[in-house]
Structure 1
């Protein structure tokens, strides 16, 4: 839909109709009764509030691309399963599990993509983002339950793959270009 339909001008200012509808719904819900007076009162209040207090236009820098999203979700679900199995094996085994602190350099400079990567990493059992160095595009990860000398390189490869999938699924064109 065009911007004119979703945010027509009222006395020189744009009034976002989806926000007006939401505020009207909240108003009617707060009054607890669906009546013509409550709906009209909510509509009038919503129009005045959105006209007097205009919100800035925000672009979170996230675009949803369906096919890469499905690829990411399938991979992420499989990673959740494997990581859970790995952590459970170390929990039932006697002794301390191996732990690592691994620095991982990201290729993306987008804050929204970095936050999504951090959330995905922290959601997976056995990994946790300890610190994020946004100025250096670097994460410090705590990894639990992976044994062997090649763990840091394997973790870096896994995070690079995760980063690629997240940027492919949610990134803007500029974000995707940055990873090439």
Structure 2
């Protein structure tokens, strides 16, 4: 079945029927009453919402690649453990922990990959994405003494490479070379 048949036009705009069906199901669940009126109200609401607020197209080329995904998850898990130990050490130790703001360049221009990198960085204790600029991130790094600009940049480049290998398109992978 073609995708266009699942999104017929209504007054000139495409209305995705699977989304309307999902919104109808949510509507019925919220009302807690499976009646004709509730289902029709859900259908009407779903049609109006999807017609008034169309979703942008989703880049379906991004798919997980199992072996690189497993490698990324192992790397990320190890990083979580090490970073947690480092932050706990500085929290329990008297005095202020070392903190820095570091600008880190990104090699990818893909928005979904950039978001995945930002989420991964912010999930690890002791690191936080403060701002995103075109082609770079501003990070707040906690618990790493001395000038750690280059090690942090290498760590983010490694993380970016692993995320691109795990989720990226061939075009994303070309950008890193």
Give TM class, smaller chain: 0.7 to 0.9
1:24-173 alignment runs, 5 A limit: 24-43=24-43, 45=44, 48-49=47-48, 52-53=51-52, 55-60=54-59, 63-67=62-66, 68-134=68-134, 137-148=135-146, 151-173=148-170
Q: TM-score, normalised by structure 1?
A: 0.79
CA RMSD of aligned residues (A): 2.9
**SS at structure 2 position matched to 1:121:** helix
**SS at structure 2 position matched to 1:94:** coil
Q: TM-score, normalised by structure 2?
A: 0.80
**SS at structure 2 position matched to 1:167:** helix
Q: In terms of mean alpha carbon deviation, does 17-26 or 110-119 score higher?
A: 110-119
**How far apart are residue 157 of structure 1 and its match?**
1.0
Number of residue pairs aligned between Structure 1 and Structure 2: 176
Q: Cα distance 1:18–1:145, how it changes in 2: closer, same or farther (>3 A)?
A: same
Q: Which sections of structure 2, spanning at least 5 residues, go unmatched?
A: none
